[in-house]
Chain A
Amino acid sequence: MDQKQFEKIVDEQNPKTPLLVNMLKAFLVGGIICTIGQLITFFYMRFFSFTEKTAAGPTVATMVFIAMILTGTGLYKKISQFGGAGSAVPVTGFGNAVISASMEHRTEGYVLGVGGNMFKLAGSVIVFGVLSAFIVALIKTILVKMGVISW
């Protein structure tokens, strides 16, 4: 049997990914998480006199706190199996990545284990966020200095 024949068999036996259903589930779960975020923003605006813009910080922190509770109680991974990107893309997903790694590596101590492994899943998000922000801001600054566009 050659490689091509084998690949054909693998392709045929592969269960088809239910893309549309997964996209729908992601839409639902992602939408619900963002709605909860919106309600929390209103809560901070109403009771703590934040504005829409300044409430973003505390809202994100609260969402990450919720992610911690859900991760620690084993519920986040159940939501994720259903929601896929719907739970990975919101900032709660970032929180889940950091918190699950921290919890897992406690057995290696707080310094080497927790501290050293905390960002093993989420680190690339920060790295590429910073890199792309740098490049975009640099390009814009150069264009402004050249007089091509204005701020």
Chain B
Amino acid sequence: MVNTTGTLQFMGKPSIVSTGVIVGPMEKQSPFADSFDEILPLENEPNETYEQANTRYIEKACSVAVKKGHEKLENVDVFIGGDLINQLSPTNFAARQLSIPLLGVFSACASSMESIILGCLLLESGNAKSILAGASSHHPAVERQFRYPLEYGAQKPKTAQWTVTAAGFALLQKQAKSAPIISHATIGRVVDGKQTNPLHMGAAMAPAARDTIERHLTNTNSKMADYDIIMTGDLGKIGLSILKEMFQDEDSGVILQDAGAQFYGEDSFFNAGASGAGCSAAAFFSHIYGQLKKGVFSRVLLVATGALLSPLTFQQGETIPCIAHAIECRMEKRG
């Protein structure tokens, strides 16, 4: 049943009017590259810190989203954003520049969908007309905070993932013409698969993804086959295999896919694939959004996955609890 155990139904037809996706130079080789709005040549300018660069990517993505939606920044009611940096500094500093009322959110790499869910709730209640929602990540900034200095020679295992440098934001309004609608959403539950290896996040996040997908399907009375695609955020190649095994009773086939596993193509340099708050944001708001608008997809489930560890919890020997937030998008046939 909807409106129970975290599954929401939106009757007011909140829709994705337009999106803005700005990525860095490493993301140029992505199969999704044609759908990105801009590929910047540098991860950070010479006189910029990584965190300042992250801020700039957010500002740019928001400006692009608003412009494509034939809207002005000053008409946006609320800005909802998240990133991976301590205290959400890039989002906060970008919001300073954008000067829109801010709700900063953190659910690690699931932040993009958390932002969208909150935006839909604001639109649904009539408390806002125009929302900017999304998330971002920046590779060197995240490496520095969570792992090692960029130039440090630590050997990465095949299960490691590459944090994308990207910012993806969507402009949401009610009942926009010819725009994909967000019909339902499921708020994630924190699930702990008792994994402890921060270089194998896919295994840690799979249980959370499974929990959210199962709850969503049950509560909306749907099966996997009802969807054109169910795409998780960044389980990576190995995490996706684990999730598929966990669903082995249901035939997930080609419906169950992962943005992180596909993000960089088959290049083994990126090991298990892409990760980061910007991964789900960039893939969902460029490629999937495009396929919806074109009518290739008519019903999708987007499940962003996040690992809720910190550098401190790892050192303190804690396991890695995870969360997955999902939205269901539909594109109504014209005429």
Interface residues of A, Cβ cutoff 8 Å to B: 1, 3, 6-7, 9-10, 12-15, 17, 22, 71-72, 74, 76-77, 79-81, 83-85, 87-88, 93, 96-97, 99-101, 103-105, 107, 121
Contacts and interface: CB of A to CB of B under 8 A. Distances in A.
B153 A93 contact: yes
Given A12-B245, A84-B155, A101 B149 contact: yes
Nearest to A67: B153
Contacts of A12: 245
A13 B155 contact: no
Contacts of B301: none
Could you tell me the dominant secondary structure of chain A's interface residues?
A: helix
A10 B236 CA distance: 13
Contacts of B49: 107
Contact of A13 (B144, B148, B193, B241): B241
B154 interface: yes
Contacts of A85: 155
A118 to B, nearest CB: 10
A10 B153 contact: no
Interface of B: 49-50, 144, 148-159, 193-195, 200, 203, 207, 210, 238, 241-242, 245-246
Nearest to B143: A104
A76 B195 contact: no
B155 A80 contact: yes
Contacts of A13: 203, 238, 241-242, 245
A14 B156 CA distance: 14
Given A3-B194, A76-B153, A81-B153, A15 B148 contact: no
Given A10-B242, A13-B245, A107-B49, A72 B157 contact: no
18 contacts: A6-B193, A6-B207, A9-B246, A14-B238, A15-B157, A15-B159, A15-B238, A74-B151, A77-B152, A77-B153, A80-B153, A80-B154, A81-B156, A83-B155, A87-B153, A88-B154, A96-B152, A100-B153
Contact of B151 (A14, A17, A72, A81): A72
Contacts, number: 80
B154 A103 contact: no
Contacts of B210: 1
Nearest to A92: B153
Contacts of A71: 151
Contacts of A103: 149, 151
Nearest to A17: B157
B149 A100 contact: yes
Contact of A104 (B149, B153, B154, B200): B149
Contacts of A7: 194
Contacts of A76: 151, 153
Contacts of A1: 210, 246
B86 to A, nearest CB: 13
Contacts of B148: 100, 121
A74 B151 CA distance: 6
A100 B159 contact: no
Contacts of B238: 13-15
B155 A81 contact: yes
A107 B50 CA distance: 9
A88 B153 contact: yes
A83 B156 CA distance: 11
Contacts of A96: 151-153
A100 B203 CA distance: 30
A94 B151 CA distance: 13
Nearest to B153: A80
Contact of A10 (B144, B150, B203): B203
B311 to A, nearest CB: 11
